[in-house]
Amino acid sequence: MPLSLGFRLIRVLVFVLKPLERLNLSSPYGESCGPGGSVYMFATICKYMAGNSARFFFILSGEHPTLPLAELKAILQAYVIEYKIVGNFYKLVEVEADGTRLESIANRGGYLDEMGEEVLHTEDNLDSIKKEVEFTDLEPFLSSQDSFSIRMLRFGGVSKELSRVHLEGYLGKLLAEKTGAKVDLRSPKKPFRGILAGSLFHLGLIMHQRPKGSIHRRRPRKRAVFHPSTMPPKLARCLVNLSEVRDGETFLDPFCGVGGIAIEASLLGCDVVGIDALSRMVRSARRNLAHFGLKPYGLLRGDARNIPLRRVDAIATDPPYGTGASTLKSTTKNILASFLPQAKSILSPGGKVVFASPLGTGALDLAESQGFKVFDRHELYVHRSLTREILVLGAN
Ligand SMILES: C[S@@+](CC[C@H](N)C(=O)[O-])C[C@H]1O[C@@H](n2cnc3c(N)ncnc32)[C@H](O)[C@@H]1O
């Protein structure tokens, strides 16, 4: 067979097989959805959806091995967004879902740095990348009127033979030649993200990025009142999200301290009630929420072992450990033993309670002995003498 005919036959085969790949009948990951995986670790939770879903990417914070992905799943669950996790390598999570719904939740995660729509993915070599760019219909993403930029990330130290800077220039040239769009690195209309992860190259169009400085502004030392027992904003936001609370729902922090968790729940649009046994803590929480222009539903002095409320939709909290915050002559374990039945009696059906406690407190046994369903558990190393255990519990 003449070489040119053979080449044309291969091109025809590629044109036939590529759309099949996009339908996910075959995948460059080596498998579709299911436990385990080849290069990629595949999520065991596969929510299959009908309709016109596309493939999106999330870039999670690498600050913890399990919390960021658990938070993302909890947000998707809370907003009843059908999704399928099709790839997860280090900080990159690839999701098939309805894009408009994903965009609406993209700013909620404490550990969620960026999200966008995937344009293409292919093997991590220049030849494959060039072919895939030539093959892909870029019209939905980039037109000749647009300006654009491409910034590369590499996760897990992979594809070392490809320089990020070289790839940015190489892709910029390919995209500009194909679409007529102009490169603008300062304020591009279309910011693209290139990612090297596993043995693949991904190109996506960024739809949401965490605003620069937004976390820094909420750090404990930047608030009106500082207290060493307070939680940093990303972790506090994550606990709120793990409770699967939605905006407009009632949220309780029964050990609110100076309001680290209450601030995050308020920013997410919840009706927040905070309780603390000490008046000065309640006053400080009030000042801290006001500092960010937030109006809680209520901040009151009270005892978490005797909660003066009938119903709340979700609870996330950090009880005292007896170090930074006083247990008021009790112990964390005893406080939890009295608080958990209270939580159970006031949570709405399906509501969740999320809390942190020092590893070794026995919180898991306590929760199970009180009939809670344990949905999730994480460990978070803080320093030599404190590792937090985070539990996500269902009351009914
Ligand atoms: C670890 S701090 C909470 C920090 C808070 N989540 C934040 O991010 O700012 C625990 C708080 O529980 C309060 N506390 C201790 N015993 C309590 C009880 N029985 N009922 C309610 N609050 C209590 C303490 O005064 C302390 O402010």
Half-sphere exposure of 391 (CA within 13 A, CB side): 23
- Phi, psi of 81, rounded to the nearest 5 degrees: -95, 120
Give the count of beta carbons closer than 10 Å to the beta carbon of residue 47. Answer: 18
Mean pLDDT of the chain: 88
If asked whether residues 253 and 386 sit together in one domain, one would say: yes
Over residues 358-366, the mean pLDDT reads: 97
Between CA 337 and CA 288 the distance in angstroms is: 29
| The pLDDT value given to residue 254 | 98
What tens digit of pLDDT does each residue of 165-186 get?
A: 999 999 999 999 999 999 999 9
If asked whether residues 298 and 163 sit together in one domain, one would say: no
| Top mutation candidate among 229, 234, 339, 340 for ligand 1, by most atoms within 8 Å of CB | 229
202-203-206-212 Cα dihedral, nearest 10 degrees: 60
If asked whether residues 86 and 161 sit together in one domain, one would say: yes
Query: Which of helix, strand or coil describes residue 101?
Result: helix
Distance between Cα 62 and ligand 1 center (Å): 28
Which of 334, 295, 325 lies closest to 386 in space, CA to CA?
325
If asked whether residues 173 and 230 sit together in one domain, one would say: no
The 3 state secondary structure assigned to 122-168 is EECCHHHHHHHHHHCCCCCCCCCCCEEEEEEEECCCCCCCCCHHHHH
Q: With 90 as the cut, is the pLDDT of residue 328 above it?
A: no
What tens digit of pLDDT does each residue of 228-256 get?
A: 999 999 999 999 999 999 999 999 999 99
Q: With 80 as the cut, is the pLDDT of residue 37 above it?
A: no
If asked whether residues 188 and 48 sit together in one domain, one would say: yes
If asked whether residues 278 and 178 sit together in one domain, one would say: no
Index of the ligand 1 atom closest to the CA of residue 304:
20
Last residue of a domain, one of 184, 209, 234: 209
The band of 45, judged by pLDDT with boundaries at 50, 70 and 90, is very low
- Closest protein CA for atom 5 of ligand 1: 257
The single-letter DSSP state of residue 260 is H
Between CA 186 and CA 189 the distance in angstroms is: 10
Whole-Å CA distances, 61 to 31, 72, 110, 220, 375: 26, 11, 9, 19, 22
Between CA 326 and CA 309 the distance in angstroms is: 23
Q: What lines the ligand 1 site, CB under 6 Å?
A: 229-231, 236, 254-261, 275-278, 281, 303-305, 318-320, 325-328, 335
Over residues 277-290, the mean pLDDT reads: 98
Q: With 70 as the cut, is the pLDDT of residue 22 above it?
A: no
| Top mutation candidate among 219, 227, 255, 307 for ligand 1, by most atoms within 8 Å of CB | 255
31 Cβ contact partners less than 8 Å away, ≥ 6 residues apart: 37, 38, 42
If asked whether residues 200 and 337 sit together in one domain, one would say: no
The single-letter DSSP state of residue 51 is S
Sheet containing 54-60: give its strands across: 83-89, 92-97, 54-60, 112-123, 200-209, 190-197, 147-154, 182-183
Name the least confident of 23-32, 258-267, 381-390.
23-32
Query: Which of helix, strand or coil describes residue 357?
Result: strand
217 Cβ contact partners less than 8 Å away, ≥ 6 residues apart: none
| The pLDDT value given to residue 1 | 42
| The pLDDT value given to residue 326 | 78
105-61-130-126 Cα dihedral, nearest 10 degrees: -170
Distance between Cα 240 and ligand 1 center (Å): 16
User: What's the gap between Cα 336 and its chain centre?
Assistant: 28
The Cα angle at residue 365 between residues 359 and 368, in degrees rounded to 5: 130
CATH of the domain at 102: 3.30.2130.30
Total tally of structural domains belonging to the chain: 2
Burial environment of residue 101 by CB neighbours within 10 A (0 to 12, 13 to 18, 19 or more): middle
- Closest protein CA for atom 10 of ligand 1: 320
Which of 54, 55, 97, 51 lies closest to 75 in space, CA to CA?
97
If asked whether residues 201 and 300 sit together in one domain, one would say: no
If asked whether residues 175 and 223 sit together in one domain, one would say: no
Name the least confident of 41-50, 104-113, 259-268.
41-50
The band of 52, judged by pLDDT with boundaries at 50, 70 and 90, is low
If asked whether residues 181 and 82 sit together in one domain, one would say: yes
If asked whether residues 223 and 312 sit together in one domain, one would say: yes
Between CA 257 and CA 255 the distance in angstroms is: 6
Between CA 285 and CA 325 the distance in angstroms is: 14
Query: Which of helix, strand or coil describes residue 111?
Result: coil
Range of the domain at 134: 3-209
Q: With 90 as the cut, is the pLDDT of residue 21 above it?
A: no
Last residue of a domain, one of 181, 209, 237: 209
Distance between Cα 245 and ligand 1 center (Å): 21
What tens digit of pLDDT does each residue of 103-159 get?
A: 999 999 999 999 999 999 999 999 999 999 999 999 999 999 999 999 999 998 888
Last residue of a domain, one of 178, 194, 209: 209
If asked whether residues 245 and 199 sit together in one domain, one would say: no
Between CA 261 and CA 252 the distance in angstroms is: 9
Residues paired with 183 in a beta bridge: 148
CATH of the domain at 339: 3.40.50.150
